[in-house]
Amino acid sequence: MKAKVFLSLCFAACATMASAQLESKSAYSIYETEDGWQGLRVSYKPIVMDAGEAGDLDMNGFSLDYVKAFRVGGNVPLFVEIGAGFQWGQYLDIEEEEVEGIEFYAEDRLTVASINIPVNLAYQCFLSNQVSLTPYVGLNVKGHVLGKNTVYVKGEYLGESLEEEETIDLFSKEDMEKDPCKRFVIGWHVGATLTYNRFNLGVNYGTDLTEFNTDTKFKTTTVTLGVNF
């Protein structure tokens, strides 16, 4: 919720500065952004897997992305930004208990990795010759390359140990009882990036538009550090 409020304030701030930017060409002196930019982004992503009535799973995710932006607005600092990157997310639940003299350790691990291709429409607001604030809205396509759920159990009773592990492929019809997860998912997002010279800090929030599985979608908050070159 805090991320959504922050992004709304960013869009409002840029709206109030739009007319002033049209009158001041000198604002475009920020590092190589008059015609666009390109760069690398590293992100931390708290991810919520919303499974409807089955409940939510909180996952930790990271991504590495390359982005490139092209100016499309003539005298208006309007850009189309496209990118490609790799995202990894994981849920981990660990339990250690003793039941009726049996000590056991249980681990439930869900891992999803994907290739992301975002397309954004961005408006760059110049706060000074070296600082800009760029709100954007966009769509992204995720191609999942890995999806697995691993359950590992280890126990000990009267000096004897038991160890068992089972892994389910989320995209296998056999493992998922003819209801496999989807390899390709489309989503949307809204965000803002603060840039100083060539370095930037950004935040965005987005959700899936299509389902990963029946009644299951991802909701993602992204905090990004990056550099333009």
pLDDT (tens digit per residue) in 179-198? 999 999 999 999 999 999 99
Instruction: Look up residue 203 and give its DSSP letter.
Output: E
Residue 23 is predicted with a pLDDT of 43
Helix, coil or strand: residue 182: coil
Distance CA 109, CA 93 (A): 7
**pTM assigned to the model:** 0.82
Rg (CA), the chain: 22
Residue 55 is predicted with a pLDDT of 87
Query: Tens digits of per-residue pLDDT, 108-155?
Result: 999 999 999 999 999 999 998 889 999 999 999 999 999 999 999 998
For the chain, helix (H) and strand (E) counts, in that order, are 1, 10
Residue 32 is predicted with a pLDDT of 55
Residue 53 is predicted with a pLDDT of 83
Residue 21 is predicted with a pLDDT of 47
Residue 18 is predicted with a pLDDT of 46
Helix, coil or strand: residue 130: coil
**Residues 203, 194: contact at Cβ < 8 Å?**
no
Give pLDDT tens digits along the chain (229 positions).
544 554 555 555 455 444 444 444 444 445 556 789 999 999 999 999 999 888 899 999 999 999 999 999 888 899 999 999 999 999 999 999 887 777 889 999 999 999 999 999 999 999 988 899 999 999 999 999 999 999 999 988 777 788 899 999 999 999 998 899 999 999 999 999 999 999 999 999 999 999 999 999 999 999 999 999 9
- What are the angstrom distances between the C-alpha of 227 and each of 176, 183, 207? 41, 30, 25
Cβ neighbour number for residue 141 with a 10 Å cutoff? 15
Distance CA 65, CA 126 (A): 24
Distance CA 204, CA 190 (A): 5
CA dihedral 59, 60, 63, 68 (to 10 degrees): 70
Residue 30 is predicted with a pLDDT of 52
| Residue type, position 171, single letter | F
Looking at 24-164, list the stretches that DSSP marks H as alpha helix, in order from N- to C-terminal side: none
